[in-house]
Amino acid sequence: MKIDGIMRNPSRIIFIFVFILCLVQAAYYYPLLPERVASHFGASGRPDAWSGKESFIRIYLIAVAVIAALFSSIGLLLKKTPDSLINLPNKDYWLSPERRQETIDALSRQFLWAGSATLLLLLDIFHQSFRVHLGKAETLEHPLESVVVYVVFNLFWTVALIRKFKRKP
């Protein structure tokens, strides 16, 4: 992929940026963490289970890697997916041979935005947990708000995606 092709794809730039932020966050906080950290937080945001910091960071990095792999590979998966398995408004129009690649590219970009939102949610929740581990907060500070923002984003994302493909230009 050429550099100018990447520059025309802000969804990919943001996705990679947020992915790197997650990695940097883990690398930054790892040496600062105590050996024993909260590994689970209850509905109140209070810690209710503990583990070693290595396990905690490993789980975070695995979650980040799985999310990154999943959302970045959707475009490749869609290219190989038969049209009969793709659920899209006006599917015959959007997946016609002359439009299929453009549609798959548009869907890939949209899923990168969704992946970025998912990684941002992880970044935020883990930041809140790092604050607890370092004694800067007693509980997660705004877990419900974080999840609500994520759900609202996904609602708007879904509506926008349906609206885009519901209309034929």
Tens digits of residue pLDDT in 87-136 = 999 999 999 999 999 999 999 999 999 999 999 999 999 999 999 999 99
Q: Are 112 and 161 in contact (CB under 8 A)?
A: no
Judged by average pLDDT, the poorest of 3-7, 24-28, 91-95, 164-168 is 3-7
Segments making up each domain of the chain, as ranges:
3-166
Taking only Cα atoms into account, the Rg of the chain, rounded to an integer number of angstroms, comes to: 19
- The whole-model pTM stands at 0.91
Q: Is the dihedral of CA 40, 46, 52, 56 positive or negative?
A: positive
- CB-based contacts of 65, cutoff 8 Å, min separation 6: none
CA angle 14, 19, 22 (to 5 degrees): 125
